[in-house]
Structure 1
Amino acid sequence: MKAVTVVAQYRTDPFFEKAVHLIETSGLVDRVLAVSRESASQRLPAFCTPVDGEIHDRTTLMRIINETGTNHLLFLTGDGYVFFEPGSIEKMIAAAESTKAGIVFSDFYDLNERGKTVHPLSGYQSGSVRDDFDFGGALFFSTEAIQKALQKYGLIPDTRYAGLYDLRLKVSIECPVHHIPEPLYSMISGKAHSGDGQLFAYVDPRNADVQKEMEIVFTDYLKKIGAYLSPGSLRQAEQTQYRFPFTATVVIPVKNRVSTINGAVESALSQETDFPFNVIVVDNHSMDGTTEILSGLAKRYPTLKHIIPISTDLGIGGCWNEAINSKMCGRYAVQLDSDDLYSSTKTLQRMVDALRDGKYAMVIGSYTIVDSHLKKIKPGLVDHREWTDENGHNNALRVNGLGAPRGFDTNIIRGIAFPNVSYGEDYAAALRVCREYRVGRIYDSLYLCRRWEENTDAVLTIEEANRNNAFKDSIRTEEIRARQQISKGPNP
């Protein structure tokens, strides 16, 4: 018996036939299932079997699984065309059998008019639970692992968009997900693998139905692995007896932002409030003139505290720790990045009002993405309306960010602290907060997030994006373990 059943989304162009023909002639493929929304039997190559439906749809997936007689299912899940290298399917089979993996995926080659370039992927961790985790264009399943997972954890629920996500999560509970760090195929892709369109897909209102299904599937997964936290387990921020010098502090970490720091500081100082506040700028040993600008501003404004830390190895998270542990930090600490601006003079008041009135440990506002001239650019307003009071703290593990600006109860964030890194430090702190405390949201734009060529959110290389995503996956891994311990309860 041949070892593999291939599942591919049908496309009406010559590339599809060429791609699946190369797979079919490998000698290992029993059949190629061409999935299509419309009947495609009249147009299909002879070696393809038509399957009506969508590749992520529950009904389609269950039909495929129930009718598969091979040991392996190869899903061609990307939006492009996959051309396997000679011997590659054999390598996937060998890896699956030697590692007892439920899922295997590999690096690949990007194929375009400029030639072939290696496209590395990140390894899979237990925290690699995002629905948009990049598996490339080919996802290789063990049929036995699928059958055992569905028998133990339940069939794929009634979904249109999240069926394959549900299947992947269930299989991963007890079986390894194995990454082969070798390009085993080439792919002509229909879209870029990075960029704001993909980055903000989960907050795009047009994707609301898709994201709701993903959240339902993911929440069920958390319950199955014992990492789900009920909303009733979350606490309010408690009153403190500590006497803070100010009600609030705007925290601005900075390094070498000579062109934007003045605007950020002026935006912070211009806030109109009914309480006393100050601004702490942690200058991480700038060398481009930023320090001199801050020194001049500090002489003009007594409520501006310019801190140059003793340590020379701080990331953004370490700079935040310097600020929140300063004797000059206020009762609440509110974020402003050195590239960015508050959208009005009322931002700080609204953040502090929400923190106080809701007794929240953290409040997160909404922001608008603008260019260097403050002109709104896509996707515009990012308001994270996927958050709910009932499940936001769980769904936070699935998405890649929670928004800005962020405001914290200083007493609580001092006890938690930020990791000393310059990417993901905010996400790590926010996950830790919402593990234990209630979080408030403001859905109006309070903040202008500037995109320009020198900031850390500029377009990343594949390697940089992989490194960032792997770090966030490691944060999720630790957070899931911590939540599992909470669900288990204290040791007897």
Structure 2
Amino acid sequence: MTTPITVFFPASGTDNDAMMTSQLNQTGIVKETIQLISPTHSTTAKHIICNHLWSSKTIIRMAEMVQTPYALIVTTPQPISLGYQALARMLQVAIDIDAAMVYGDYRIEKENGIQPCPVIDYQKGSLRDDFNFGPLWLINTKMLKSAAQELTATHHYSGLYELRLGLSRQSAMVRVPEFLCTTLETDRRTSGEKQFDYVNPRNREVQIEMEAACNKHLQAIGGWLKPDFTTPVLDTPSFDVEASVVIPVRNREKTIADAIKSVLIQKTDFTFNLIVVDNHSTDNTGLLISELAKNDNRIVHLTPERHDLGIGGCWNLAVNDARCGRFAIQLDSDDLYIDENVVQHIVNAFYEQQCAMVVGSYQMVNFNLEPIPPGLIDHREWTPDNGRNNALRINGLGAPRAFFTPILREMMIPNVSYGEDYAVGLRISRQFQIGRIYEPLYLCRRWDDNSDAALDIDKINTYNTYKDRIRTIELEARIRINGK
């Protein structure tokens, strides 16, 4: 067949639709184009009316209409300029290895020029619903039709997500590491702003569908865990103090004193200390810690002998120190506890919920501690029964985090400075229940010095690849547990 592709693209209702159709026809390998339109839009072109653009019904209708060996789904209504022979290249790869889906890198036209936007390779653990495949998805039609038969027909928002999960169960999801097209930028927020989309209450209905789709996929591949947990024995062994707050820090002279003071004012009915791991700061951070430690013997000031520690390595150093308490409680060096009862509240939660890890909630603030959107981050998407399964889909577990020290010593935290808390949280959740506190415990500062405030595309891809690898490792471990 000389024209093996049917293209589906969201109509914009502008001249761009005709330009897109013309451009696709000029490739010589597109048989027909089908526009995805809203109920209020009219067109003489062949089309699908979509009450919700990427609903399961839309995907099912696509599968019914396509008669060519391959379908190209364009996921943006923005104008697209195809790269030279881009579709032919995608088709070649798809045929050569019988891929379920082929996608690739692209460029974005911004106000300050055209910038490259490379994407990353798909892994078995690439379960987050915001995985960036770029705007061109070339899909094997037989596999599209098979996946469409398994979609949850009532879902309004998770159609594309459930489709690509279904495709991944059939064959390879292949990235072509070449720039295939150029499109306009539509989301100009920084990486630090985008990372909280999945916990925004306005997106709750969407997230419920995404969780259900992920559960269905995990059950299909043997990675879903039943709500059966090991109960930790919290009263053994003995510890000199009941709790330790742990602050890894490097070069935070503007904020470290505030963080430490927010710990020292804590009121508890047990003894606690504060372990500050100064990872070879080159500013006045170390001096500020030392001065505060002179006046309060609860402060344990550690400086690693090694120079290759990330945040995770600093945590392991603190947790394995003999002075660490029964529970190790997190505080970042630029954040603060919200009041004087946080440590008591967290320790109570361990005993009340009989868990190995507790995660609280936090309020987003600026450097001056003034509330900023999206406000309270409480991760109410978590449920005791399914939280650990949904944790494979979402990008984080929340904060502040606290751990039963003997278990943390056993499982360890990866020696990295991004995703280390998520990695150990996934590992703990495989066996133990994670407790939750939905009241705000923590003021999380967003400012220019945050490590994830405004990342470039290469750093975003590095971080996302790492988290997907962590998910892949955890998913494989869970499949082994289930004997699949």
Q: TM-score, normalised by structure 2?
A: 0.97
**1:330-366 CA distance string (max 9 Å, x none):** 0101000001100111111111110122111011000
Provide the residue aligned with 1:204 in structure 2. 200
Name the SS for the 2:177 alignment partner: strand
Residue 210 of structure 1: how far off its partner (Å): 0.8
Q: 1:317 aligns with which of 312, 318, 321?
A: 312
Asked if the contact 1:108–1:182 (Cα under 8 Å) also holds between the matched residues in 2, the reply is yes
Asked if the contact 1:109–1:185 (Cα under 8 Å) also holds between the matched residues in 2, the reply is yes
Q: 1:120 aligns with which of 110, 114, 118?
A: 118
2:10 and 2:65 map into 1 onto residues whose CA distance is 17
Provide the residue aligned with 2:105 in structure 1. 107
Provide the residue aligned with 2:177 in structure 1. 181
- Paired amino acid for 2:186: G
Number of equivalent positions: 482
Provide the residue aligned with 1:15 in structure 2. 16
Residue 204 of structure 1: how far off its partner (Å): 1.2
Asked if the contact 1:79–1:190 (Cα under 8 Å) also holds between the matched residues in 2, the reply is no
Asked if the contact 1:58–1:160 (Cα under 8 Å) also holds between the matched residues in 2, the reply is yes
**1:428-448 CA distance string (max 9 Å, x none):** 011011111011111111101
Bigger shift: residues 116-125 or 243-252:
116-125
- Paired amino acid for 2:48: V
2:152 and 2:102 map into 1 onto residues whose CA distance is 20
1:137 and 1:473 map into 2 onto residues whose CA distance is 20
1:239 and 1:400 map into 2 onto residues whose CA distance is 29
The sequence identity of aligned pairs, in percent, is 41
Bigger shift: residues 30-39 or 154-163:
154-163
Provide the residue aligned with 1:219 in structure 2. 215
- Summarize the alignment of residues 300-315 of structure 1 with structure 2, pairs less than 5 Å apart: 300-315=295-310
Residue 156 of structure 1: how far off its partner (Å): 4.4
- Paired amino acid for 2:170: E
**1:155-212 CA distance string (max 9 Å, x none):** 4442111111111001101311101111110011222375355321211111111110
Which ranges in structure 1 are unaligned for 5 or more consecutive residues? Answer: none
Give yes or no for the alignment of 1:49 onto 2:46. yes
Provide the residue aligned with 1:29 in structure 2. 30
Name the SS for the 2:294 alignment partner: helix
CA distance change for structure 1 residues 113 and 276 in 2, over 3 Å: closer, same or farther?
A: closer
Asked if the contact 1:80–1:137 (Cα under 8 Å) also holds between the matched residues in 2, the reply is no
- Summarize the alignment of residues 57-456 of structure 1 with structure 2, pairs less than 5 Å apart: 57-78=55-76, 80-149=78-147, 154-192=150-188, 194-231=190-227, 233-456=228-451
- Summarize the alignment of residues 481-492 of structure 1 with structure 2, pairs less than 5 Å apart: 481-488=476-483
Residue 26 of structure 1: how far off its partner (Å): 1.4
- Paired amino acid for 1:324: V
**1:399-457 CA distance string (max 9 Å, x none):** 00110000111111111100000000000011011111011111111101111111212
- Paired amino acid for 1:49: K
Asked if the contact 1:298–1:306 (Cα under 8 Å) also holds between the matched residues in 2, the reply is yes
Residue 242 of structure 1: how far off its partner (Å): 1.8
Asked if the contact 2:151–2:159 (Cα under 8 Å) also holds between the matched residues in 1, the reply is no
1:24 and 1:51 map into 2 onto residues whose CA distance is 19
2:207 and 2:122 map into 1 onto residues whose CA distance is 22
Q: 1:465 aligns with which of 456, 460, 475?
A: 460
Residue 149 of structure 1: how far off its partner (Å): 4.2
Name the SS for the 2:290 alignment partner: helix
Instruction: Give runs of ≥4 in structure 1 deviating > 6 Å.
Output: none
1:72 and 1:332 map into 2 onto residues whose CA distance is 55
2:153 and 2:215 map into 1 onto residues whose CA distance is 13
Bigger shift: residues 401-410 or 51-60:
51-60
Residue 55 of structure 1: how far off its partner (Å): 3.4
Asked if the contact 2:60–2:148 (Cα under 8 Å) also holds between the matched residues in 1, the reply is no
1:164 and 1:393 map into 2 onto residues whose CA distance is 23
1:483 and 1:79 map into 2 onto residues whose CA distance is 39
**1:218-266 CA distance string (max 9 Å, x none):** 00100000000011x2122213432101010000000111111111111
2:414 and 2:201 map into 1 onto residues whose CA distance is 32
Residue 117 of structure 1: how far off its partner (Å): 1.9
**1:20-74 CA distance string (max 9 Å, x none):** 3211221111111111121544x45xxx312111331122211210121111111
Residue 79 of structure 1: how far off its partner (Å): 5.3
- Paired amino acid for 1:74: L
